[in-house]
Structure 1
């Protein structure tokens, strides 16, 4: 049995994916994969996700150049969550131009942005 056959995709054919920087252990982002995205990730050794809003494959870095090279892949005990450990190219994982997507911190019942923009998204995506 192949690894992909053991992944527990949900009723929409998706599995949540947590992406972590291999060197720093910082959580970079959370996204989704379908079977095709998972298979392409294995084949290319680069992160490929499924965009629920665009309903298509999302090759991380295809527009920004901020690719995620796969170092290790894990699943949780139920095999219904995937963890990617990656080398993040360009230092930017978030479409907002930040290092990661988790930059809003709860302080005194208010969300505070605690991360600076590395590169303006307009420069990245046009």
Structure 2
């Protein structure tokens, strides 16, 4: 394992459970596809293999996206947010990203409700 890789993983602020949220985005369209969780080993596997590996909180095991579905995620880039507590994975998604067999997990609209009725932008004049 390269010291550089370990230094990059060392910059991540994992939570008390040793996990970090990974926001997954299609690299060319910037479409947000899903959110999953990673520990240091899942991140290490992802960065070294070029295929995304996650930690399943419900099953307590690693899973590489697409191994059973064929809907693989090929890493195009990885970024760390300013606080170090979230990872952005820029990927090329082959097939649907969501376990419900849809392109994105973010296809349920909550609407704008009251936010849409507020004047959030002051008039400049």
User: Do residues 99 (structure 1) and 103 (structure 2) align?
Assistant: yes
Q: Which runs of 5+ in 1 are unaligned?
A: 110-126
Q: Which runs of 5+ in 2 are unaligned?
A: 114-125
Answer with 1 or 2: which has the greater Rg: 2
CA shift at 1:108, angstroms?
7.7
Give 1:74's aligned residue: 79
What are the superposed Cα offsets for residues 44-83 of structure 1, whole Å, 9 maximum, x if unpaired?
1111110100011011001001110000100100111000
Q: Partners in 1 of 2:69 and 2:48 — Cα distance?
A: 21
Q: Partners in 2 of 1:15 and 1:107 — Cα distance?
A: 28
Report the count of equivalent residues: 108
Give 1:113's aligned residue: none
Q: What TM-score results when the alignment is normalised by the length of structure 2?
A: 0.83
Q: Partners in 1 of 2:100 and 2:16 — Cα distance?
A: 30
Task: Quote the RMSD (CA, aligned, Å).
Answer: 1.3
SS of corresponding position for 2:109? strand
CA shift at 1:87, angstroms?
0.3
Q: What TM-score results when the alignment is normalised by the length of structure 1?
A: 0.82
Would you identify which runs of 4 or more consecutive aligned residues in structure 1 move more than 3 Å?
Answer: none
Q: Partners in 2 of 1:77 and 1:108 — Cα distance?
A: 28
User: Do residues 89 (structure 1) and 94 (structure 2) align?
Assistant: yes
